[in-house]
């Protein structure tokens, strides 16, 4: 494994790169959730890399993990900016062509936006618990997360994974609860995605309903294949709640990618 920091969009980002152990495999690029980081993936990247044989990149976005601390509030287009500015520069600097994107939650939305942008070739896309639009259930759970942050030991837990847990938390929480964000919607972008898609959703997801991945299936009309995986006994983090099922599904998906 190689770990360190890389300069992207004039900021230092933490990353981990796991080498491939099979040839002719796509590079997996993992994009974390709204409170995620390299360390919050835990052992999932290593297990996924071992199962698929793929080179695997994990990184913490600006404001997360050990990357540079967030200095300004996010704007409603923060995921678009990540997809169209930071991610392309990161991939270019690491010389990663035609990746297989594996995104979770906000990271899944960023993956969808990046794949829809056109100039950047994407081999395939796995969207775990993606957000395509804002649902009432999302807002309720994000409001509950704020209460938990202000009344429980959640700040202590997050401090194990982020340089400044308070700025990380409120950066994510404030923009999702901002009135201007309520109309955020990327459904029109899905129509431009031209790579295969695997969309995964837990039946017990507290941050979104099946309407999210059903929107992917309905709107991604240019994709050659859209597969939906609906998991029972699974909340917002399929890779933690149903690890084996998710690894097996991604492995099959990667096997079908034409390199």
Q: Which top CATH class is 2-255?
A: alpha beta
Q: Are 54 and 25 in contact (CB under 8 A)?
A: yes
Phi, psi of 47 (to 5 degrees): -70, -40
Reply yes or no on whether the pLDDT at 119 is more than 80.
no
Provide the mean pLDDT of the chain: 97
Say how far apart CA 257 and CA 188 lie, in whole Å.
Answer: 25
Confidence of residue 130 (pLDDT cuts 50, 70, 90): very high
Reply yes or no on whether the pLDDT at 43 is more than 90.
yes
- Would you state the pLDDT for residue 38? 98
The model's pLDDT over 70-103, given as tens digits with 9 standing for 90+, comes to 999 999 999 999 999 999 999 999 999 999 999 9
The model's pLDDT over 228-238, given as tens digits with 9 standing for 90+, comes to 999 999 999 99
Say how far apart CA 195 and CA 223 lie, in whole Å.
Answer: 5
Q: Are 175 and 75 in contact (CB under 8 A)?
A: yes
- The mean pLDDT value for 147-151 works out to 98
- The mean pLDDT value for 174-200 works out to 98
Give the total residue count for the chain: 259
Lowest mean pLDDT among 29-33, 120-124, 148-152, 202-206: 120-124
Strand, coil or helix: 110: helix
How many helices (H) and strands (E) the chain has is answered by 11, 8
The model's pLDDT over 161-185, given as tens digits with 9 standing for 90+, comes to 999 999 999 999 999 999 999 999 9
Domain ranges in the chain are 2-255
Reply yes or no on whether the pLDDT at 258 is more than 80.
no
Reply yes or no on whether the pLDDT at 132 is more than 90.
yes
Extract the runs of DSSP E, i.e. beta strands, from 79-168. 100-104, 124-128
- The mean pLDDT value for 220-241 works out to 98
Reply yes or no on whether the pLDDT at 259 is more than 80.
no
Say how far apart CA 89 and CA 119 lie, in whole Å.
Answer: 13
Say how far apart CA 106 and CA 64 lie, in whole Å.
Answer: 13
- Would you state the pLDDT for residue 120? 83
Lowest mean pLDDT among 54-68, 118-132, 134-148: 118-132
Query: What's this model's pTM, rounded to 2 decimal places?
Result: 0.98
């Amino acid at each position: 494994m190689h770990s360190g920091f890389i300069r992207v969009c004039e900021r230092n980002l933490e990353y981990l790169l796991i080498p491939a152990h099979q040839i002719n495999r796509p590079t997996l690029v993992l994009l974390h959730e709204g409170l995620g980081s390299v360390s919050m993936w835990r052992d999932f990247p290593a297990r996924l890399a071992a199962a698929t044989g793929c080179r695997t990149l994990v990184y913490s976005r600006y404001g997360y993990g050990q990357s540079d601390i967030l200095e300004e509030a996010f704007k409603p287009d923060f995921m678009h900016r990540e997809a169209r500015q930071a991610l392309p520069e990161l991939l270019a600097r690491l010389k990663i062509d035609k990746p297989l994107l594996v995104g979770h939650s906000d990271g899944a939305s960023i993956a969808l936006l990046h794949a829809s942008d056109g100039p950047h070739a994407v081999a395939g896309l796995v969207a775990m618990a993606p957000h395509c639009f804002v649902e009432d259930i999302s807002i309720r759970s994000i409001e509950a997360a704020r209460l938990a942050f202000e009344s429980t030991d959640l700040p202590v837990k997050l401090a194990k994974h982020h340089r400044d847990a308070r700025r990380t938390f409120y950066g994510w929480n404030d923009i999702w609860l901002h009135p201007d964000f309520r109309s955020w919607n990327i459904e029109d972008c899905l129509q431009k995605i031209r790579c295969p898609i695997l969309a995964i959703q837990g039946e017990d997801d507290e941050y979104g309903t099946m309407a999210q991945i059903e929107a992917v299936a309905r709107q991604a009309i240019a994709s050659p294949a859209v597969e939906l995986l609906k998991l029972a006994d699974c909340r917002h983090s399929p890779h933690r709640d149903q690890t084996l099922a998710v690894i097996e599904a991604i492995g099959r998906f990667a096997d079908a990618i034409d390199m």
